[in-house]
Structure 1
Amino acid sequence: MKKFFFQYPMLKRIFFSFGIVLLFLIGRYIPLPNVDISKSSVVANSSLEVASAVSGGSLANIGLFSLGLGPSMYSMILNRVFALGRRRQATDSSQQKKQMIVMFLVAAMQGLGIAASLTYVAHPILQPIQLIALTTFLLVTGSFILMWLGNLNAAYGMGGTTLIMFISIVVSQFRAVPILVEVVASPKIMYAVFIMVWTLLSIYVTVIFDKSEYRIPIQRVSIHNDFVKKAYLPIRVNPSNGMPIMYAFTFLALPQYFLILLSYLLKRNALLQYSVYFTPRTGIGIVIYVVLVLLLSYSFAFVNVDPVVLSKEFRVSGDFIKDVRPGKPTQLYLARYIRFFGVFSGVITSILLSIPLILFLSDEKLQDLTPLSGIFMMMTGMVLMIRDEVVTSRLRRKYTELFEGN
């Protein structure tokens, strides 16, 4: 068996990822102690459930992994955005420590908000406040376990944390199938057809954006043949991939968790009515959602293609862009293109996301289907990311075979 896996390391990684997915699915349905399962759904609002599913969580069925990877996602993006453009980069251990602290604080806030809204079975020893504290501890622990499983999958499997989020979204979308069937069987069938066609168009644009790139010609000092004319630096038309949509949903969920917690602490359920402003089911919510997508598209463009790092790499290698001086001028030159494609892809993505949301804003039944374009754009981006990882991992085996005959 070891010899078999040694010959086919890709299968070993696939089997490992399958095991991680299995553990994730089991953990999703591990119930929390003393929680009334029949009344365990936190919200009837599907927007918060979608936001939770995007990060690997589940609020429809409260379990060990209900928080998902949301706290980890918050801490990662904040850590990376604040590190942009810094001349002195923090050490890996220092960055990891800060990220863990931020993750714990966010997880504690979200976990406490969920725990405070649950219904508990009477316990002979523990008081209600102790049950809430215990549930919060288990939810926070589950989030850290899920992050650990994602890191294991990144090291020994395929897809990292992206695979966990992808499976979570797929499982959560099973609930949309009966709604789609009901709408198709009703007089609103043409509206459902429009949403499905628009979703297919969104997937097509996502794939085209992934394949398209702008090529900046580079003069490489290490090349002294005809290939010097073919050297270039690629910048994807959508440098942020599907990450802005994923993180926009996650960021919209944070104030909703905060309002749930605040309403419990202040004993004012009226505060929950303000959560509609952070869902794409109202005009204001759609505006906030689109603004978040635009800002995150711009930010992730610079996170994924950092002009500061690229300009430093050019100076170290001696490579340069024709008619552009090294150092700061190169950095500004690259930043201009990254900024343009970040804004361009953000605008196109926002249009694809917002059109169905705006058209069917007044129809409650169709509102359950309008997020499909964004959800499938995310899933397409995840599949493309995992595919790129598979292709990259197979390159090593191909190059190994190249030298086996020597």
Structure 2
Amino acid sequence: MLEVIRNAFKNPDLRKKIFYTLMILLIFRIGAAIPAPFVDASALVQLTGDGSNFFGYLNMLSGGAFQDATIFAMSITPYINASIIIQLLTVAIPALERLAKEGGEGRKKLNKITRWCTVGIALLQATGYYFLMRNYNAIPSDYTSDAATTWFTGITIVLVFTAGAALIMWLGEQINDKGIGNGISIILFAGIIARGPAAFMVLVELWKKGGINYFLVPLTLIVFAAIIVFIVIMTNAERRIPVYYAKRVVGRKMYGGQSSYIPIKVSMSGVMPIIFASAFLSLPSTIQMFWTPKADSFWAHVFNALSPRGAAYAILYFLLIIAFNYFYISIQYNPIEIANNIKSNNGAIPGIRPGKPTVTFISKIISKITLLGAFFLGAIAVFPIIFTWLTNVNISLGGTSIIIIVGVALDTMRTLESQMTMRHHSGFLK
């Protein structure tokens, strides 16, 4: 990785793109520190609690901007939600499916639809966040003294949060256009990394005060390092399906006759199943913040069973990750389309007849790889919860954060390597 970065800085064009990306990230972190008007952020500390509820999850994605009620409090969550919605609708709505298959022009139209959808979702989330802040008395009474002042305060706060989400989306697109690419992912990466020093200092303070045993801090760091190595191995792991292309003569030229393969990664869905499962299981703890059931009642037992440190939570979390992984892969990969592409290019899988047998073979391979990838994601997500049980050190969201960080780092390195390959052909002019 360090060698890739060093070589990238030697190229003037790539060096300019890296510095441009760093400038965008600096703007993002400055915006994450600018407080929204009319809000007392100190009243929102109890909102995220120990970070295990839905608001703690949003706070993790925003790099702490959600809890601090800054102009970037919504972070990139509206864009992520919009992208997921449009992606799902592409499968269900034929018009969007046709746009997705039209190439560059179709993608531009889909991106435009995604932008407008992002603004709409940001507006809804900002409105909900405003009423949430009012419930927690995070807006001083001076700004809600009468109807006109209340309306002005509310509209201002909602528009500021919405504009912040739109600005983050624009910053991500600037990284795609003029930077090193993967703009939204890099912004998400920067937000999570920004919380790293604070989390480390919490461990150090607990260590100094005797809140945890002396060996737990280095043990936690070793565990995180081992998880990172495991994630890197599983992220790069893939199942290669060999494909041989028949020779064909067009005019006086002969095409085909070579062999290739279809790479199917073990971690095809990335962190999306974990995000879906986390958002789903955080609903009980979020509801409990607004409604506390009576002690020893049915709902009290349900909430206790589904607390982030409970065994039922860990089991359900693991099963939901597997289910969402299968759901996401079924949307992303179509064995029929893959088989048709192979057939249209005069290709065939050795030992497998074209047509339905090829579809069945690819479906079985994807199903097996999906199950392996689902167990991998489930293990990474559940292990920090088990580690929290054993050590009483709350790192329940650590698995999600590490997968995001490692995945974005690997994608960025691959992007830099591909761009260096495009700009440096050692034997082309020799």
Shorter-chain TM band: 0.7 to 0.9
* Whole-angstrom distance in 1 between the partners of 2:82 and 2:283: 12
**How has the CA–CA distance of structure 1 residues 108 and 322 changed in structure 2, closer, same or farther, with 3 Å as cutoff?**
same
| 8 A contact 1:110–1:257 mirrored in 2 | no
1:35 to 35, 39, 44: 39
2:224 corresponds to 1:219? no
**How has the CA–CA distance of structure 1 residues 302 and 259 changed in structure 2, closer, same or farther, with 3 Å as cutoff?**
same
Which residue in the other structure is 2:139 paired with? 120
* Whole-angstrom distance in 1 between the partners of 2:263 and 2:125: 40
Spell out the pairing of 1:140-179 with structure 2 (5 A cutoff).
Answer: 140-158=162-180, 159-179=182-202
| 8 A contact 2:385–2:396 mirrored in 1 | yes
Which residue in the other structure is 1:228 paired with? 258
Which residue in the other structure is 1:49 paired with? 56
* Whole-angstrom distance in 2 between the partners of 1:165 and 1:355: 23
Spell out the pairing of 1:4-403 with structure 2 (5 A cutoff).
Answer: 8-41=12-45, 42-47=47-52, 48-54=55-61, 58-84=65-91, 89-91=97-99, 92=106, 95-96=110-111, 99-100=114-115, 102-118=117-133, 119-121=138-140, 122-123=142-143, 126-158=148-180, 159-185=182-208, 186=210, 188-221=213-246, 228=258, 231-249=260-278, 263=290, 280-302=308-330, 305-358=333-386, 360-361=388-389, 366-367=393-394, 369-399=395-425, 402-403=427-428
Q: Which runs of 5+ in 1 are unaligned?
A: none
| 8 A contact 2:41–2:67 mirrored in 1 | no
* Whole-angstrom distance in 2 between the partners of 1:286 and 1:349: 13
Number of residue-to-residue matches in the alignment: 391
**How has the CA–CA distance of structure 1 residues 389 and 304 changed in structure 2, closer, same or farther, with 3 Å as cutoff?**
farther
| 8 A contact 1:53–1:165 mirrored in 2 | no
Shift in Å, 1:64? 0.8
Amino acid at match of 2:128: G
| 8 A contact 1:57–1:69 mirrored in 2 | no
Amino acid at match of 2:258: V
| 8 A contact 1:183–1:189 mirrored in 2 | no
Amino acid at match of 2:171: L
* Whole-angstrom distance in 1 between the partners of 2:198 and 2:239: 40
Q: Which structure is larger by alpha-carbon Rg, 1 or 2?
A: 2
* Whole-angstrom distance in 1 between the partners of 2:265 and 2:312: 31
SS, match of residue 217 in structure 1: strand
Identity %: 21
Higher mean displacement: 241-250 or 336-345: 241-250
TM-score between the two structures when normalised by the length of structure 1: 0.81
* Whole-angstrom distance in 1 between the partners of 2:129 and 2:213: 36
Shift in Å, 1:171? 0.9
* Whole-angstrom distance in 2 between the partners of 1:155 and 1:115: 33
Deviation sequence 1:220-245 (CA, Å, 0-9, x none): 2369899835x221112222234433
Q: Which runs of 5+ in 2 are unaligned?
A: 1-8, 100-105, 249-253, 295-299
RMSD: 3.7
**How has the CA–CA distance of structure 1 residues 178 and 55 changed in structure 2, closer, same or farther, with 3 Å as cutoff?**
closer
TM-score between the two structures when normalised by the length of structure 2: 0.77
Shift in Å, 1:32? 1.1
| 8 A contact 2:79–2:169 mirrored in 1 | yes
* Whole-angstrom distance in 1 between the partners of 2:368 and 2:164: 40
